[in-house]
Amino acid sequence: MGFLANILLDLAILAQSERKVWDKFIISVYFFYYTTKFIFHRLFGIKFQKAYFSDYRIKFYSFRQFYYFFRTIFIHQQYQFLSSNPSPLIVDCGSNLGFSILYFKTLYPEARVIGFEPNPLAYKLLLENIEQNQLKDVKIYNYALSNQKGELELYLDLTKAGDEKASFFPTYSGKDKIRVASALLSEYINESVDFLKLDVEGAEEMILKELAEKDKLKLVKEMIVEYHFQLQGANLKLGEFLAWLEKQGFQYQIQALNFQLLKAQQFQDILIHLFREIK
């Protein structure tokens, strides 16, 4: 999808959002400002490694990375959820540099957040972004989540510091690999979770099934899962996964923005919004 088409899409999404008029104006100013900087970055190679949004300061390795997350998280609001709890418990799996955590704290300043990020370079800036913004009630862990504890091989592209596509599967990410500590999500969930975000590059099924085996998935009220469809080596089957989630008591909505011509066995990111039945 072309750059101009992306801008028009972003503006359409922003116009249709349920934000207040003043909030739309403010975020539109940020959007045009950072879009202009992105153009200068692409045309002239100008490097930017920090940005300001609302009351937050954000550090990053790549402006491309910042601009992508700014659009998807703050413009598209992929992780928006409604809660009557003023201090919801949010579990953020795949926190990367902390853009999602900053968004959650924008939605709910009193939110309690538990975050996980396995990439050590991403974790370094994640920690800095949390500390420099003095975020309270946020705990982060430098762990990969899996269905086993110990150490696992993580594939990533070491030429891209803070690579957001670090994965257990080399076909999706870079060919470089490092050893990282792995943990069980079930050991960190001991009370009702208002919102669970899973962006774990192909490990989503094993994490959720481990939660279910430990009888902890029932504590999750709502979640967003970025599902990596047709990921080579992962043996993921979307239909079976959705049927299993229904058995766990979830209903769902699916979003897959892809304006390219589809091909057989083509990889695709799918966003699945899961929620309990409203009675």
The C-alpha angle 117, 155, 60, rounded to 5 degrees, equals 45
Mean pLDDT (10-residue bins), the chain, 279 residues: 86 93 95 96 92 94 93 96 97 97 98 97 96 98 96 85 71 78 98 97 92 98 88 71 96 79 68 87
Q: Please report the pLDDT score of residue 168 as a whole number.
A: 78
How is the chain split into domains, by residue range?
1-78, 85-276
Closest by CA to 170, choosing from 152, 160, 156, is 156
Q: List the beta bridge partners of residue 93.
A: 116, 198
Give the separation between CA 261 and CA 9, rounded to whole angstroms.
Answer: 18
State the pLDDT at residue 102. 98
Task: Return the pLDDT at 276.
Answer: 94
Q: H-type helices in the chain, by residue range? A: 3-16, 21-44, 63-69, 99-107, 120-132, 204-213, 238-247
Dihedral-angle region of residue 133 (phi above 0 means left; psi in -120 to 50 means alpha; beta otherwise):
alpha
CATH fold group of domain 85-276: Rossmann fold (3.40.50)
